[in-house]
Structure 1
């Protein structure tokens, strides 16, 4: 990964043939897992949290490497959960799935999960929640003592209340886990790169498949096929739109037929290789004619926003300082702006959120941009009541001295020139 030269004329254009899969056989996954587990425990210690119960499957995977029906478990939480202390890691796994954690040095013990949800327990849900809380409380007390500080996340309300009645000092576990995930190790970055390269191959295939008459979902499925064939996990959103459906943004992919000479906007949002998020956005043109002047203008404005905001990023910069220095969105595009200027990226979108200057008073918070953070710099440009819009985004790594570009997929020469 080459450090970016912000003084040179840049279009980030590369030959599609160069988008080969990153070698994965040199990734030390034991070191990756050790770094991640150590980060969580360090953040717990910093806040005097003796134990956490993690139920978000992404956070379980981050802390241990254990993966199991990730989307199912997000919808059916808590169907599996992890109890983590300073020196013990106990995974409560979904029925019949204990073998999936075999060989993971990050897990000391695997037990059967007791699913405390209405779907699993029906009218007996309150009794199930209480029994679950008593079982967990006895175990936690034996490890760290009754009354210890306990971090919880994403539990149903009845389970959390029942556990609170067991005499622990209950706190939210989101902060320590998000702060842990925010900083990547050099070995972890190899996973990020592998996911990006695989996703870029998928986007190249999608780009090559573009033709008028295809539906949005047919085109979008090309990316899916490629990602899954390369052992990626799934696409987290449905963000591919064409023509008038590119403005405003956040219109989900449908069976809309792609017309001639339309813009096609894509946000990858891929949970790819090793569970890492590959998150960049590109906008294409369906042809057969050249883009219009208006289409090129939208594209060039979005390109300018992304590159200005990448250019101001630096280690040690405050979130408020970033918002103050970020690109000024012209008035005619302001109403339809993307809701963030940039955001953290790891196993999914994560801390921090960096807001536009105008949104900072209501939504923003301060913090520090640190080496080891991976950020996605966003732009959406479309006039309010305009017909089309452009979505562009780049994924970067904050280093000790500046910024490294991670996403390498080319921009469109016909739309830039």
Structure 2
């Protein structure tokens, strides 16, 4: 790494890249006619006021981020926001490490979450998920090129690790390319071919996470060896540095504030969608970004699980179950589940039994977690569900978490895939431990989930949201 100064880290200037390549004996890089060269924030601005995460204290800036309300709440909770510059460098270093480990010359990402991880650049994430118009290339020496929508380069100019921004070119899906998709994909693949020759010489091994069929064929035509980019990015993302962990703590805290407001509003007569809307509103008010699902159901709609919030009005005596799936501030996911009892009465014995089994199942599986244990061992040694609940078990027993659901998937014994995940837990991994308890044909079900961090000595539960005392017997 480089010392702080005008050329801090991988400073995004052509001057630096030309100098580095000349020292290495390489030819000067070609700069596309539609490139925008990105420079780091002007170092003369060092006296400017900064927010607690190191971003400029100017709400007129294009950069999205937490609101003043979020920072105030985190401060009151004693939470430390991430250092954004350090978090971004750590992420890029992890990608470079994975590239060198696999002897790939670079990785090409179209998945918006992988783009966010590599650059911390965000642009209409949900829209981009089904309109693939953005891409990022990261070379094995950490050079970063971002392709964005035309007219959107200003969204990422503040990010110092992006060396170059190109407008347009990465979108060759049918909606924008029509019947010229193959020609447009060929043009884009030509840019990638030039980058591989520039950075890799004879090395033609390029990791790609996901790409249109026409794009894959175009890369093949250039003789590029396309490798598994999603595997590379998932393994890079799996270990969290201190700043990612701090960002996750902040996102969870914001989600828990929103969930508390949901709890305050839960009363007979409120519709599932009305209750669910509070999670969205409170997340957005604090600088959160979006929500992956709409998993909140009540009464008979809690069984089977994975139904989504609808117009049903919640009745006295109903169970209300939800899974947050919140992409909060910094794009970090807060993913936990709770089941509540609606009303002032006493839950039935069956409701309390379901909750007790769900809680014990989840906590027993959390107790297994420690560095060095293999994913296979977790499946083999996991808490066994009572037979009546096996048929409607949740899709995974545990899963990684970061910008969203991530590698690994820890499966139930009934779903185990030999050889799919032959790895072990490491300090810095973050997981969500799941539990759904409901019988086939049963009236209701209980969904619980906790978000945890693997530490050097074991596991830390990151979730502080209380369970319903009426269902736990604490009331």
User: TM bucket by the smaller chain?
Assistant: over 0.9
Q: Deviations over 1:249-277 (max 9, x none)?
A: 11011111212210000100001010001
Asked if 1:244 corresponds to 2:300, the answer is yes
The aligned counterpart of 1:60 is 115
Give distance in 1, aligned partners of 2:197 and 2:124: 30
Q: Deviations over 1:314-335 (max 9, x none)?
A: 1100111111211110011111
Contact 1:130 1:162 (8 Å CA) reproduced: yes
Asked if 1:113 corresponds to 2:207, the answer is no
| 1:16-415 to 2 correspondences below 5 Å | 21-23=73-75, 26-77=81-132, 79-87=133-141, 88-114=143-169, 115-145=171-201, 148-361=204-417, 365-415=421-471
Give distance in 1, aligned partners of 2:292 and 2:356: 27
2:151 alignment partner, SS class: coil
Give distance in 2, aligned partners of 1:104 and 1:361: 40
Contact 2:239 2:428 (8 Å CA) reproduced: yes
Q: Deviations over 1:65-115 (max 9, x none)?
A: 1111111111101x0110110231111111101011122111011111212
Contact 2:138 2:144 (8 Å CA) reproduced: yes
Give distance in 1, aligned partners of 2:81 and 2:429: 22
Deviates more, 1:383-392 or 1:248-257: 248-257
Q: Deviations over 1:206-234 (max 9, x none)?
A: 11111121111111001111000010001
Deviating beyond 6 angstroms after TM superposition, the runs of 4 or more aligned structure 1 residues are: none
Normalised by the length of structure 2, the TM-score is 0.81
Contact 2:104 2:203 (8 Å CA) reproduced: no
Extract unaligned runs of 5+ from structure 2.
1-71
Q: CA deviation at 1:361?
A: 4.9
Aligned residues: 397
1:328 alignment partner, SS class: coil
CA RMSD of aligned residues (A): 1.4
Deviates more, 1:25-34 or 1:57-66: 25-34
The aligned counterpart of 2:9 is none
Q: Deviations over 1:162-194 (max 9, x none)?
A: 111101111110111100100001122110000
Give distance in 2, aligned partners of 1:45 and 1:265: 45
Deviates more, 1:123-132 or 1:153-162: 123-132
Contact 1:275 1:347 (8 Å CA) reproduced: yes
Q: CA deviation at 1:143?
A: 2.5
Give distance in 2, aligned partners of 1:336 and 1:56: 31
Extract unaligned runs of 5+ from structure 1.
1-19
Give distance in 2, aligned partners of 1:407 and 1:250: 22
Give distance in 2, aligned partners of 1:135 and 1:317: 43
Contact 1:49 1:149 (8 Å CA) reproduced: yes
Contact 1:21 1:194 (8 Å CA) reproduced: no
Compared CA separation, residues 37 and 180, structure 1 to 2 (3 A):
same
Give distance in 1, aligned partners of 2:407 and 2:190: 33
Contact 2:430 2:451 (8 Å CA) reproduced: yes
Give distance in 2, aligned partners of 1:63 and 1:25: 23
Contact 1:213 1:259 (8 Å CA) reproduced: yes
Q: CA deviation at 1:146?
A: 5.5
Q: Deviations over 1:333-376 (max 9, x none)?
A: 11111011111000000011111123225796331011100010
Give distance in 1, aligned partners of 2:135 and 2:420: 32
Contact 1:147 1:169 (8 Å CA) reproduced: no
Contact 1:22 1:193 (8 Å CA) reproduced: no
Higher relative contact order (CA 8 A, sep 6+): 1
Normalised by the length of structure 1, the TM-score is 0.92
Compared CA separation, residues 169 and 362, structure 1 to 2 (3 A):
closer
Give distance in 2, aligned partners of 1:361 and 1:348: 22
Higher-Rg structure is 2
Give distance in 1, aligned partners of 2:285 and 2:419: 39
